[in-house]
Each structure stands twice: as C-alpha cells, then as structure tokens.
Structure 1
Amino acid sequence: MLVAHSGTPNTGKPIWKESEIDSAVVVRARGLPWQATDHDVAQFFVGLNIAPGGVALCLSAEGRRNGEALVRFEDSEQRELALKRHRHFLHNRYIEVYRATGEDFLQVAAGSSSEAVRFVSRGGAMIVRMRGLPYDCTEAQIREFFASGESGCKVMEGGVLFVNKSDGRPTGDAFVMFDDEAAGQRALAKHKHTIGSRYIELFRSTQAEVQQVVNRSLESVQVVVQGNRKDCIRLRGLPYEAHVENIVEFLGDAARHIVFQGVHMVYNAQGHPSGEAFIQMDSEISAATAAAIAHNKYMQIGKKQRYIEVFQCSPEDMNLVITSPPLPPQLVLPPRPLYPQPAVAGMVPTLIAPFTPVYWPYPSPPVSPNVYPLPSQPGLVLITGLCPNVTPQEILAHFHSNPEIAAESVQMLRWGSAQCGGEALVRFRSRVDAERALAEHAGTPFGAAPVNLTLIHS
C-alpha cells in the first residue's frame, strides 16, 4: 500500500549544491495556483511517496512563486506514477507534470549559505515566511509578534532567520520555524497584523524557498566601474529560448574574451525573457571586434533562426538597465487629483498626472541576482461605488487574496458618502497583474456593496 507523505514535504535533510540527486526520481509540476503550498503539492500527488523535503516551489525573477515546483520522490517507480498525473486537476486548475533532472532540483533546493542550512536543519514542522518587516526589526519583536494575542504561539529556539543582502542590509524578509503544524497554523492567522506601523505578510514556506531567497539575496549584482570606455556589448532580438550557452556559441571565438560571470540575461518585470542580454568583455578592442563580427548574424535554436543585433556599449549603458533601483515612494497628503473633471459615464478617463502613491504597505521582496527586471508600466485599476469610510488599507486587503498579484498602493480619489459612492485608484506592479486582479475580482462585492472595476489604459 502506498502512503502519501503529506505531512512531511517541508522537512528533511538539508541539501547542499554538492549533493547528488538521482534524476530518475524528480518531476517538474507546472501550472500550480500562485498561492499553492508544499501541502497542496503533496495533496496533488496523494498516494505517492514524496521524499522528506522533496517539494521545492520555484521562485520568479522577482522572488515570488511562479507556479512551478520540482518534486523529488523516494524511488523511480513513484516518479513514473507521478508522471501519470499529467493534466490532473488541483483546485480547478490542471497541472502539467514532466520529467526533470537532479540538477534541476539542486538549482532550486540546494543551499550555499551555512546559516540557511543550519536553520533548515533544526527540523521544525512548519516554516513561515515573513515579508514587510521594519528594517530595524529584532528577533525579540518577532517572537513577541507571534506570542501575543489569543492565538499566540511559540517560535522554536533558533527558529528565526533574517534575510540580508550581501552588504548586511536587511531585505525586510525573515523565516520563522515552529515545532508543530498547529503552532504554524496559529502563526499564519496573524497575516496582515502589524509590527510597529508595518503590515506583515505571512506565507507558508519550505526548505527550498529558504535556500532560494537567501542565496539570491547574498549573490548581489556587482556594479561595474563606470567611465567612457566601451568594453561591453548589447545583444537584441534573442529568441526567448536563448540561454548563456547559446550566446557563447553564437559569439564563437569572441566568447573567449568574456569576463568571468560576464553574461547578463535581461528579463522583464514579469520574469519573462526580454530578448536582450549584456556581455562584459575583457577590453574595448574585444567588444568592438565582437560587435563587428556578430552584428546581424543569425542565431539558430532548433528550427528557429533569428538575426541578432549586436552593439558596443559602455558599462554605464549596461548599468542603466540592470541596476537602476526604483524611486522610493513619496507620501503626499492630500493626493493631487488625477482627472481634470469627473469621468463621464461610459468613458475611460485619461491619466494626466504621475501616479502619487498614498499607502505603501511593504517593501518588494528580494530580486534574483543576474536576472534584471526591465522597468515596466504599472497597472492601474479604477474602483467606483465604494461605501463610506472605506480605507486604503481595506482596499489593499481586498486585493491580497492572491499574494502574487497583490496591490502595491492605493490612492483615494473621492471618499464615499450617503449620496455618492467613493472612488479609488489601485496600482499593481504591471498591467498583466492589473488584468489578472480584474479577472479575479470582477463581480466580487466589496463589503456590503458591489463595486465597479475598470482597467485604466495609460
């Protein structure tokens, strides 16, 4: 009789990058709901023996779950049975299941930070990820946060791991470990409670997510020294399937002059390939030669053939794309009106002023190193028909049912009254997120009253 390890997908012996994983026991599950946890994955494969610590939820370029997971089973027979779950359903979504390799699993689940490995070695029953912490938050504050109130619970000894950047600065994230499932569930009930003035987001997490987030935060981007020299090249028009190996092959002999870790693939804000890459060469002559030889040359991947534009550029040009930080939000009260006059019924108003965020609940999560999100237009949704006394915090909470498309900020355009419904503008990371939020919340009542949602075309 097969027994599902539904209670242990999150625990197990820590995995190092030097570990060996048999490729015959690994699958990739794709199409998971954004809020799926390790236990959801275990439920999907119920009846099969998942190895302890064998569920590795994959993160996107922005450090958020991307709907994929690598799953390691106890033996090859279990893996073959798992493959037969291809296109079965989880929470009304069909899941694709493919063969994967041990190397694929290690890339997601393996750790290189001894501190992170020590943390996951403590053997707790549940790990919770905290996001949005004050930068000066202490372990004592975290323990008090979980211990307070009727649903208080105790954090394990040594069960707090802060996520810091390579220079020691905090990211606003932490992982917390609990002795048993019941304590972890009580901890999750404190989602959106506050530490100081900050709303704290809580998510069930895994060993693999701890390793991924810590690894990425420590591997910070090295900013090259800027100047007038042009010892870099920029490639445009790359097939979306292109990897570093394809670029090296495309450049031929010129690839010998690429500096160590000098190939930088560029991804957009949604984590998809942008078709561009920057490459650091060992000299200006090498960069000029590579650009002259490879410009408008064809790259072939499978049956696809694309001609690639190659330009010589400077480190400053590269840094403008790959290291430009977002501008810090400014608090402006009262907000400036976005529209010159009330919107006419049936017409989508035109945005005439820069969006001024009024309420920013938390910092963005750590971004994957060597993956550089391009600046993208935010997505804006107009809400009309709001009840009186509805606050920006309540609007944000309304859109937080799916943390992957959570609203970033809210601006009240008009407060509701007994005679007239309120209006607010909600900002999302991208237009794609705004469209997804619109699809998920269209027709959903806000409080006791229905509201209208409109996507703003800016």
Structure 2
Amino acid sequence: MLCTDGQQLLRQVLHPEASRKNLVLPDTFFSFYDLRREFHVQHPSTRLARDLTVATMAQELGLETDATEDDFGVWEVKTMVAVILHLLEGPNDQLFSKPEVIKQKYETGPCKAEVVDSETVVRARGLPWQSSDQDVARFFKGLNIARGGVALCLNAQGRRNGEALIRFVDSEQRDLALQRHKHHMGVRYIEVYKATGEEFVKIAGGTSLEVARFLSREDQVILRLRGLPFSAGPADVLDFLGPECPVTGGADGLLFVRHPDGRPTGDAFALFACEELAQAALRRHKGMLGKRYIELFRSTAAEVQQVLNRYASSPLLPTLTAPLLPIPFPMVAGTGRDCVRLRGLPYTATIEDILSFLGEAAADIRPHGVHMVLNQQGRPSGDAFIQMTSAERALAASQRCHKKVMKERYVEVVPCSTEEMSRVLMGGTLGRSGMSPPPCKLPCLSPPAYATFQATPTLIPTETAALYPSSALLPAARVPAAPTPIAYYPGPATQLYMNYTAYYPSPPVSPTTVGYLTTPPAALASAPTSVLSQPGALVRMQGVPYTAGMKDLLSVFQAYQLAPDDYTSLMPVGDPPRTVLQAPKEWVCL
C-alpha cells in the first residue's frame, strides 16, 4: 500500500501523464494513504491538512531529523517513515484504516433527481466539438468524477457547443480540478471554472420515464445517430448497423427522438454492451440508409436527456398566431447622444445587475430602455444599450459609472446616439474608428411597383398551365386594405436590414431563421402606428432549387393556410426582368 505526502503527485502528475502517454498503471497506484490527512486525524488542532508538510509534521511530533542528509528525497522518505511509526504507536485505531481510492474508469449513467452540491461542480470550456464524455473524463484523469457526472452542453440547434459541466464526488476533487485550468486536450487548452449545482441539474437532469427506462441499463456505451429517414423504424436501424455490432436489447436499445406531435426528427440513440461493439458501429459513420447518409458519434446520458427534453418542451408551432418579429419599443432616430453604451459586461449580467450598477442614474432610464445585445449564437455579447431621458442624463451616467467594476470586471460606459444604437442592434459595429453598417445589409427585395401588387406580364410554362386553371395563374390587381401598406419596399437608394441582434428580453434569433424589418428604422418615428403591427407576414425562402416551380412552393406551404388567390404573393427575388413563374434564386412570400 502506498503512503504519500498529499495527493498532488498521484492525482495531478502521475495519472494524467500516464493517461497522456497511454501507459497502464498497476493497481497499486489506484489506492493510497494520505499522510497529511492521517496526521490531521490524530492531531486535529494543527493547521489544515493541505497546509502540512513533512517537516512541519515532524516538528509537531518533536522528531529529530537527519539534517546532514544531502539528498532531499531520501531525507523526506526517512522523515515520513518516522512520522508513520510515531502515529502507529498512538491509541487511535482509526488511523490507516480507510485508503484513498482513485477510480480506474468513468461510470456512465443518468442523473437522478437529487440535490447537487455546488462545491462539487466545474464548467469546462473550449472542448473539441467531437469530444465525448470519456474524453472529458480522461482530461480529468486521477480525479474521481461522480457516476454520470459529465454533462456535455448543447446549443440551440442541439449540437455540442464545446462546453461541459462536470460533477465530482467531493469538494476536494473539485478544487484539484480547478488547478487544471488551461491544461491541454490535444492542441486545445481547456478553461475550467466553478459552476453551480443548479446548472448541472438543468443540463443533466431529466424526469422523462422514457429516458429513465432507456438509461436504466448500466455500463452501456451510447451512440447518437443523426440524419435518419423519417420513415425509418427499429428494424431499419438494426439492419443498417448489421449483425457485427448488435444493439443491446435489440429494438429496446433504440430511442427515437420525436416532436411533440409524434413526428420523427431524424435522430436516435443506441446502446451497446461494450466499447468494441461501439467502435464497430462507429465505422458505419456516413453509411447510407436508403438515400441518406447517417452520422454516428458518441453520446452521453446527459445529452440524451437534453435532446429529449428540448423536443418535448418546445412545440413545433405556437397555438396562437405570433408576429413575425418581436415589436420593440419605438425608437426615434436622432443624432442627440441620449443613450449610453455599456461595454465589457460579464456574460452572466442581468437587467437587475445593470440597474444596480447604474445606481441613481437608473431612475433616468426610459421605459423599456434597456437593450441587451446578443451575438449570432443567441448568447450575451457583453454589450448593452441604455436609453436615458436626455443627453445630459446620459453624459452624467457615463461620467459617474465609467470603468466601475461589476462582478470583478470593469465596464466601459460611453454616451452614444439612438442612431448608433439602432445600427449596432441590427448587426453593425461601433468602434473608435467610427460606425460601420450592419454586415447583413441586403439589396432591395423588389421594385416599388410591387407594393401595390399590380399585374405583371407572365410567361406560363406548359406544365404549369396544365396543373392550374388560368384564373388562378393570372395575377389579380389588389388595393391595400389600409392606408399604410402591409409590406414597405424601400426605394432603389435604400436597403433592407436583417434583425440579427435581438432586443432583450426577446428570445435569441437563430442565424438561419432571421426576420426582416420591413420598414427602415427612421420611418418608425414618422409612422402614426407601427408598421409591424399591420396584418400580413413576410417570409423569405433561400436556397430554393433553380428548377423549383409554383407547384413546389405551394406544396411547401400546404399546411400554412395560403389562400388559393394568393399565388401572386409569391414574388421572385433575383435578376429583374424575371417573371413570376420563372425559377428565381430566392422567393419572398406574403
């Protein structure tokens, strides 16, 4: 049995280095006695165990050490032996009765509904996106991770975002894990921070009986299959994997991910009894099932729960008709610097934190005047804009709060104008060199003549004329139902902006599903009512095949109540002299 001076050498040096060099250590190195802890049990009135050294322990016991020994290692071993013999002579029979254990392998399993101590959880950031829970456990080799204690975080699209929450068996293991901050996994350095038990339960916890039943089998390797045909069933997946890599329990070892209405998402999870079978299944990565290639990669119990919870909690379509864009508080464009910009905020900062940071200046904020800037992934960017009641109040707030500290970070507070704020909220940049336009500026969607839906010459292909009656194909002239047009089309000198950056507290907007501001920001000031509140909706279709026709577009919107006489609302966006029924690069649907 080993006896060491503390745990650092075994847990933080020997085991990580052996794992990095693919060396197998004998069982002797997986259990040991910590002399510092045993000494503290015998002498609890002394300093903390982690602050003890061999010299201080010998001094506390009054032992004489050989000061003539030149080799420090030999001297330390001799002194440790003397301390151990002295402790064994004492009356305490609890000494050296319970060795410290280092887990040889990470145990997978579901996270049950229990209270998780925040002193045992860390957050690892910067992980390779293809890393699995076993890779994370290998990074923390030598430390005891709780069963099912690795929870890989997913982004809004259900893909891994390079972060993980790790739960250890006790706070001492957590403190050792924090010392691995900026250690390397391959060529990437990993950041390790403290986290809370609530964050871990939010990611790894789950109450679904279906998930609990699927994960009830212990010591199973989980793989995730993505891109399955919607018609694929358990038999199809088992045939795809083949007899050389059987799934544990056959069809019972498969879990298909479905929308709340029961439709498949194309994802599934599979259980395998051992690592060898999982490796054989991974060799089927990007194999063909029908006409689709299937992606296979390692997964975790926490990822299973995250994916199932996400699809179970978010309906495909809202029950009530929602507006295309959240309607922000109207902002009157102007050059007066009656706003302040906060730069360098902590990513965890909330509106309450900002109000507390501003102090007395918070009383001068306009209603709905706090705007948190999100990045294209829907996360806080560290910036925020505050609309003040006047330019004087904005200047006073910036002078009073500039470079004050919020959560160990100093925050820059600078005055700016409403126009500058609007540009940044729409995706532009505002730096010391000046203001640049949003990167998502788009050319005018269509000429102004389309605003009144006037009839245009049409060239009807033969196959289209055979499918629809002529009355449905000919565009009908329309008159707007209200004085303000449903969709405003800027003139040739203006451009249309994409709302990449969401107003707080609107939900983050995915970069792949972006709404369009159909009215330029300056027009909101002069309009008696918000144009966005008018009836109608604007949808833009990108990536439409060049061969797509009217029939294909109508089939896409078949379940969305497109009126039969609304065919003229399908307007092509592309090179203008295209006609309505020619195949453009993009379509706009009203």
What TM-score, normalized to structure 1? Answer: 0.55
CA contact (8 A) 2:260 2:312 kept: yes
Q: Return the letter of the residue paired with 1:45.
A: F
SS at match of 1:135: coil
**Cα distance 1:292–1:99, how it changes in 2: closer, same or farther (>3 A)?**
closer
Name the structure where strand makes up a greater proportion of residues: 1
Q: Return the letter of the residue paired with 1:188.
A: L
**Cα distance 1:169–1:80, how it changes in 2: closer, same or farther (>3 A)?**
same
CA contact (8 A) 2:374 2:380 kept: yes
**Cα distance 1:6–1:135, how it changes in 2: closer, same or farther (>3 A)?**
farther
The answer as to 2:321 corresponding to 1:216 is no
CA contact (8 A) 1:89 1:95 kept: yes
CA contact (8 A) 2:211 2:304 kept: yes
CA contact (8 A) 2:149 2:168 kept: yes
CA distance in 2, matches of 1:274, 1:376: 19
TM alignment of 1:241-390, pairs within 5 A: 241=346, 245-246=350-351, 268-270=375-377, 272-273=379-380, 302=406, 303-304=410-411, 305=413, 370-375=507-512
2:112 corresponds to: 15
CA distance in 1, matches of 2:349, 2:263: 30
Q: Return the letter of the residue paired with 1:225.
A: T
1:225 corresponds to: 321
CA contact (8 A) 1:124 1:156 kept: no
CA contact (8 A) 1:60 1:271 kept: no
1:176 corresponds to: 270
Q: Return the letter of the residue paired with 1:107.
A: K
TM alignment of 1:46-57, pairs within 5 A: 46-57=141-152
TM alignment of 1:107-122, pairs within 5 A: 107-122=202-217
CA distance in 2, matches of 1:166, 1:102: 29
CA distance in 2, matches of 1:114, 1:264: 40
CA distance in 1, matches of 2:254, 2:390: 51
Long gaps (5+) in structure 2: 1-30, 32-99, 332-338, 357-361, 420-505, 515-542, 546-590
SS at match of 1:373: coil
TM alignment of 1:138-217, pairs within 5 A: 138-148=233-243, 151-157=244-250, 158-217=252-311
1:451 corresponds to: none
CA distance in 1, matches of 2:379, 2:211: 28
Q: Return the letter of the residue paired with 2:268.
A: A
Q: Return the letter of the residue paired with 2:258.
A: N
CA distance in 2, matches of 1:88, 1:106: 26
SS at match of 1:62: coil
Answer with 1 or 2: which has the greater Rg.
2
The answer as to 2:197 corresponding to 1:99 is no
Q: Return the letter of the residue paired with 1:195.
A: L
What TM-score, normalized to structure 2? Answer: 0.43
TM alignment of 1:399-438, pairs within 5 A: none
**Cα distance 1:22–1:46, how it changes in 2: closer, same or farther (>3 A)?**
same
CA distance in 2, matches of 1:33, 1:214: 23
CA distance in 2, matches of 1:94, 1:113: 35
CA contact (8 A) 2:125 2:192 kept: yes
CA contact (8 A) 1:4 1:50 kept: no
User: 1:14: how far off?
Assistant: 3.1
Q: Return the letter of the residue paired with 1:137.
A: A
**Cα distance 1:244–1:116, how it changes in 2: closer, same or farther (>3 A)?**
farther
Q: Return the letter of the residue paired with 1:14.
A: C
SS at match of 1:200: strand
1:77 corresponds to: 172
2:81 corresponds to: none
Q: Which moved more, 1:232-241 or 1:191-200?
A: 232-241
CA distance in 1, matches of 2:222, 2:321: 40
CA distance in 2, matches of 1:266, 1:47: 41
**Cα distance 1:275–1:74, how it changes in 2: closer, same or farther (>3 A)?**
closer
1:347 corresponds to: none
CA distance in 1, matches of 2:347, 2:160: 22
**Cα distance 1:172–1:8, how it changes in 2: closer, same or farther (>3 A)?**
same
| 1:82-117: CA deviation from partner (whole Å, max 9, x where unpaired) | 112122221122222122111121121111433223
CA distance in 2, matches of 1:210, 1:152: 21
| 1:367-423: CA deviation from partner (whole Å, max 9, x where unpaired) | xx954313499xxxxxxxxxxxxxxxxxxxxxxxxxxxxxxx9x9xxxxxxxxxxxx
1:68 corresponds to: 163
Name the structure where helix makes up a greater proportion of residues: 2
**Cα distance 1:293–1:208, how it changes in 2: closer, same or farther (>3 A)?**
farther
Would you say how many aligned residue pairs link Structure 1 and Structure 2? 303
CA distance in 2, matches of 1:265, 1:129: 35
1:396 corresponds to: none
**Cα distance 1:245–1:48, how it changes in 2: closer, same or farther (>3 A)?**
same
1:134 corresponds to: 229
CA distance in 1, matches of 2:414, 2:109: 45
User: 1:131: how far off?
Assistant: 0.6
Of 139, 142, 145, 1:44 maps to 139
| 1:263-291: CA deviation from partner (whole Å, max 9, x where unpaired) | 998855445446899xxxxxxxxxxxx99
SS at match of 1:107: helix
Higher relative contact order (CA 8 A, sep 6+): 1
**Cα distance 1:134–1:233, how it changes in 2: closer, same or farther (>3 A)?**
farther
CA distance in 2, matches of 1:179, 1:212: 23
Q: Return the letter of the residue paired with 1:8.
A: Y
User: 1:81: how far off?
Assistant: 1.5
CA distance in 2, matches of 1:265, 1:115: 38
Q: Return the letter of the residue paired with 2:230.
A: Y
CA contact (8 A) 2:247 2:270 kept: no
| 1:206-236: CA deviation from partner (whole Å, max 9, x where unpaired) | 0111111111122226645347999764899
CA distance in 2, matches of 1:207, 1:109: 8
CA contact (8 A) 1:268 1:374 kept: no
SS at match of 1:82: helix
SS at match of 2:123: strand
SS at match of 2:109: coil
CA contact (8 A) 2:347 2:381 kept: no
SS at match of 2:278: helix
Q: Which moved more, 1:30-39 or 1:228-237?
A: 228-237
CA distance in 1, matches of 2:355, 2:126: 32
User: 1:57: how far off?
Assistant: 1.0
SS at match of 1:174: strand
Q: Return the letter of the residue paired with 2:105.
A: G
**Cα distance 1:190–1:370, how it changes in 2: closer, same or farther (>3 A)?**
farther
